[in-house]
Amino acid sequence: MRLLVVEDDADLARQLTERLSAEGYAVDRAGDGEEGQFLGETEPYDAVVLDLGLPKVDGLSVLRAWRAAGVATPVIILTARGTWSEKVQGIDAGADDYLAKPFNMEELLARVRALIRRTKGHASPEIACGPVVLDTRTGRVTVDGRPVDLTAHEHRVLSYLMHRKGQVVSRTELTEHIYAQDFDRDSNTIEVFVGRLRRKLGVDVIRTVRGLGYRMEEA
Amino acid sequence: MRLLVVEDDADLARQLTERLSAEGYAVDRAGDGEEGQFLGETEPYDAVVLDLGLPKVDGLSVLRAWRAAGVATPVIILTARGTWSEKVQGIDAGADDYLAKPFNMEELLARVRALIRRTKGHASPEIACGPVVLDTRTGRVTVDGRPVDLTAHEHRVLSYLMHRKGQVVSRTELTEHIYAQDFDRDSNTIEVFVGRLRRKLGVDVIRTVRGLGYRMEEA
DNA sequence: TTGGAACCTGAACGGGGGCTGAGCCGTGCG
DNA sequence: CGCACGGCTCAGCCCCCGTTCAGGTTCCAA
């Protein structure tokens, strides 16, 4: 999953990026509203963490601009403590969740997970494809209840496929959601990861749709 | 389904063509308004993605020319950010949808899908012909709920037939909508695909109308 | 009934998309 | 410093898929 963090406070931004990366997300960062708005309109993020107090263009304007432009990416806004009016405005402007600063990092992580899950259309925190089960809270993957060890990138690939199970996911789409901003287009890394996943999982749940991409089997 | 992309920015044009092809469309590209207008009037596209800022002839003129010439192909226009007047003029000129640049690729894909569905007269994202069901979002085909594996070209043929269910579709029409610009006319590939489809589907829903073409049964 | 046109189908083939094993490189850790 | 490991690249192989062709079957007109 690929995230955008729009935060001007360098310290907080670093903390967020590090922690979210450690959780296995591909994270892009924007330091002001202008950059944030541009990235949010251009790149296909799975969720955005948006601070409301920003240089150049403030967060609310960014959010409104996105929604006006039809960008439906789920957004969590960060507001200074106690500024209730901001929260309300944020929700009105199309935010999906909000968090008051200073916030608890674990809570943010939980909310991000839940948000991505909801917007991909999964009610439960566990996603299952046949015997393969992904627990979105712990990030743990099991096959028939038996845990499977995956590397960071293997996990990202599988996780994205499972969140979109039943649909064909093209190689380019996978690449875009798995790597942060700079990535190489001409390479077969995706195929390599899929190959390793298939071997590690030991079950035939990742179907290749020749010429189009990959699809996780529904049942 | 066959699409036309009219876009002068080489980078963006390549991105669009690649992605749309990966989604299973046959894509033609025009680099300026003149070429675009010609192709749009000549070839039978199922949808057009039209940039408004173009060399030689600008997008709005192209669109007006098409509509004046009776070309009813659905058109999505791409406008530079914030130029509201262009959007309004675009709609007035006969555009069916518009998107502000920079745009989100996933959103464009969704709009293209929806547009094609609407113009072929289907309200729901699922099209059914008896036991055969096509989900236009996932591209999945089922017979009596049982999924059927199709190759890319088989899928295109079936998809086009189903979008025009109940109507007779000639071999040449099929060929034109399934292949991009350069294709061979003298060949029996269509017959082969129809044959394979009939076998894979296992149901008699594709009727041949001797001398005219094929028809998907309504009920 | 017969001939021919339209259509179907099985087999074969050639190219290219996809898979994989091996090896390289950078990084983190003992 | 060296080792292990994860990420990435590359080359070669395999096999799927699109296409063609030949021969068979069905339909229609005369």
- Tell me, yes or no, whether A77 and A185 share the same domain: no
| Shared-domain flag, residues B158 and B183 | yes
The pLDDT value given to residue B215: 93
- Check CB contact under 8 Å for A72 and B107: yes
Q: What is the per-residue DSSP string for A121-157? A: T--SSEEEETTEEEETTT--EEETTEE----HHHHHH
Same domain, A104 and A174: no
Region B170-193: mean pLDDT is: 83
Long-range residue pairs from A41-45, CB within 8 A, at least 24 positions apart, any chain:
A41/A65, A41/A66, A41/A69, A41/A71, A41/B102, A41/B103, A41/B104, A42/B102, A42/B104, A43/A2, A43/A4, A43/A176, A43/A181, A44/A2, A44/A173, A44/A176, A44/A177, A44/B104, A44/B105, A44/B106, A45/A2, A45/A3, A45/A4, A45/A73
Measured between CA atoms, the residue of chain A closest to residue B146 is A219
How many whole angstroms separate alpha carbon B10 and alpha carbon B16? 10
A131: containing domain: 126-216
Q: Determine the protein residue whose CA lies at the shortest distance from the C1' of D8.
A: A189
Least confident of B46-60, B137-151, B176-190: B176-190
DSSP 3-state of A15: helix
Among residues B86, B101, B119, the one where a domain terminates is: B119
Instruction: Check whether residue B151 has its CB closer than 7 Å to nucleic acid strand C.
Output: no
Whether residue A6 has pLDDT greater than 70: yes
Q: Are residues B115 and B154 in the same domain?
A: no
Question: How sure is the predictor about A65, in pLDDT bands with cuts at 50, 70 and 90?
Answer: confident
Average pLDDT in the B22-28 region?
88
B166 and B106 in a common domain: no
Residue with the larger pLDDT of the pair A192 and A185: A192
Of B119, B134, B157, which marks where a domain is finished?
B119
CB contact under 8 A, A71 and B140: no
Could you tell me the pLDDT band of residue B189, with boundaries at 50, 70 and 90? very high
Q: Is B105 in Cβ contact with A44 (below 8 Å)?
A: yes
**Edge-to-edge strands, sheet with A97-101:** A26-30, A2-6, A47-51, A75-80, A97-101
Confidence class for position A42, pLDDT limits 50, 70, 90: confident
A170 chain-B contacts, CB cut-off 8 A: 19, 22-23
Among residues B101, B119, B137, the one where a domain terminates is: B119
**Which chain C positions have some atom within 7 A of a protein CB?**
6-11, 17-22
pLDDT of residue A154: 92
Q: Are residues B102 and B56 in the same domain?
A: yes
Give the count of beta carbons closer than 10 Å to the beta carbon of residue B48.
27
Question: Same domain, yes or no, for B31 and B79?
Answer: yes
User: Is residue A132 located within the same domain as residue A110?
Assistant: no
Q: How confident is the model at residue B184 (pLDDT cuts 50, 70, 90)?
A: low
pLDDT given at position A185: 61
Is B130 found in the same domain as B115?
Answer: no
Query: Average per-residue pLDDT in chain B?
Result: 86
Looking at the structure of chain A, the number of domains it has is 2
Q: Is A49 a residue whose pLDDT tops 90? A: yes
Q: B34-66: per-residue pLDDT in tens?
A: 999 989 988 889 999 999 888 888 888 999 999
Q: Is the CB of B210 under 7 A from strand C?
A: yes
Supply the CATH number for residue B203's domain: 1.10.10.10
The strand C neighbours among A residues 55-84, by Cβ under 7 Å, are none
State the CATH number of the domain containing residue B66.
3.40.50.2300
Predicted local confidence at residue A91, as pLDDT? 72
Ranking A168-172, B113-117, B121-125, B130-134 by mean pLDDT, the lowest is B121-125
Beta carbons within 8 Å of A134's beta carbon, 6+ residues apart:
A126, A127, A128, A140, A141, A158, A159, A162
What pLDDT score was predicted for residue B219? Answer: 59
Between chains, do B104 and A168 touch, taking CB under 8 Å as contact? no
All residues of chain B having their beta carbon less than 8 Å from the beta carbon of residue A42 are 102, 104
Confidence of residue B159 (pLDDT cuts 50, 70, 90): very high
Residue B128 has pLDDT above 70, yes or no: yes
Nucleotide with the nearest C1' to A211 CA: C17
| Residue B90 shares a structural domain with residue B176 | no
* Judgement on whether residues B103 and B13 belong to the same structural domain of the protein: yes
- Kindly state whether residues B72 and B131 are assigned to the same domain: no
